[in-house]
Amino acid sequence: MKIKKVVCSAGKTGFFFDDQKAIKAGAIADGNTYLGNPVTEGFSSIRQTGEAISVLFVLEDGEVAYGDCAAVQYSGAGGRDPLFLAKDFIPIINEEVAPLFVGKEITTFREMAKTADCYVSARTGKILHTAIRYGVTQACLDAAAKNKKTLMAKIIAQEYGLEVSDKLIPIFSQSGDDRYTNTDKMILKGADALPHGLFNNVPAKVGNNGEKLAEYVTWLRDRIIKLRPSQTYSPVIHIDVYGTLGIVFNNNPEKIAGYLKTLEENAGPFLIRIEGPVDMGDREKQIQALAQLRQILDEKKINVQIVADEWCNTYEDIVLFTDRKAGHMIQIKTPDLGGINNTIEAVLYCKNKNMGSYLGGTCNETNRSAEICAHIGMAAHPDQILAKPGMGVDEGYMIIYNEMSRILALKNII
């Protein structure tokens, strides 16, 4: 079956684009926005509406396969591709991507994904924006599944020599700044890992000596015990600290490890993971710091898992962090990897190397990209998958949970 036409539609994401540089420089929050002027190129305000592009493959039989191009909340920061605005990138998709597929036979997902992911733009001489590659390869997967009249998860499993999971992948939910009320939602819904927490400021959230975070972990443990739907419910406590422990303890790994021991005690009986304990400002330094911290934790038998995030964005980064044991788990930030073929391969690489794999992404995605990530999760078996998009808990959890449930119901039928 051939692809008859490629159509684009502008869309919205489940959250916002935020100018990280302006926020780090001290932009003042004002309700759900920020006061001041943006500093990152392309931004018209410090916080602006998240945008997406649906790429729709119209097939010969009248069906439509599609995926959503989306970028992370902090676009344009940390070496990422520039701000992703629909008006700027729809013309590129129409002029450069569409001709790669219109009138062509649907082959395998991996072959079509490689076409999109490796294409070098005639305009720039570079590969396409990560968001374009993310959405177009989603459409490729959907087209391959519709061509064979089966599930996207089964296409991935068939092409990578895998088996579709016979149970749901553990779901990790994120709270944003509403780390109390939103946590209640997570507990009541039975989220497998929670709450992310957004601990990105030392004096206001973590505490100058880490005391505020320690108090929160104690509160969280008690809240889980009070509200849990059953005595068997035992979620992982997973908190992102955005490098702030490095600030509090002057990047001293022994002192950070000692503090993590306190968090382990406060979290008990629940396992605790700390994402991004330090931010060394450089990939190599980050790898060294996380590898050293993991070694100390393991040697001292401190049962806290650290999760790599900062400076671990691309497939190549993930390989380096994994090979050097820079952490116990890697967050695979799906839009940052470009084509979803890279996401699949990153999960499999982590698993083959006994590194924890967290199929993550961003609150700034869409329902469609989240649904397709659910298919990736059910085929590739990461250790956990992010409930996305948005920061409201209910919507993102529903999207991921329900799509995985549908896959379970249909995997032996189609």
Q: Give every CB contact of residue 143 below 8 A, 6+ residues apart in sequence.
A: 3, 57, 59, 65, 106, 112
Q: Pinpoint the alpha helices (H) of 52-129.
A: 86-92, 98-101, 109-118
CB atoms within 10 A of CB 32: 7
How far apart CA 73 and CA 13 sit, in angstroms, is: 10
**DSSP β-ladder status, 3-18 and 47-59:** antiparallel
Cβ(390)–Cβ(173) under 8 Å?
Answer: no
212 is catalytic: no
Taking CA 357 as the corner, what is the angle to CA 301 and CA 292, rounded to the nearest 5 degrees?
Answer: 40
Residue tagged active-site, from 205, 333, 388, 411: 333
How far apart CA 349 and CA 345 sit, in angstroms, is: 6
Give phi and psi for 247, each to the nearest 5: -70, -45
Cβ(143)–Cβ(57) under 8 Å?
Answer: yes
Output 205-208 pairs: Cβ under 8 A, ≥24 positions apart: 205/244, 206/241, 206/244, 206/245, 206/248, 207/248, 208/248
Q: Give every CB contact of residue 98 below 8 A, 6+ residues apart in sequence.
A: 6
**DSSP β-ladder status, 33-35 and 28-30:** antiparallel
Q: What secondary structure letter does DSSP report for 281?
A: S
Q: In which residue are the tokens 């849990």 written?
A: 228
- Residues with a catalytic annotation lie at 333
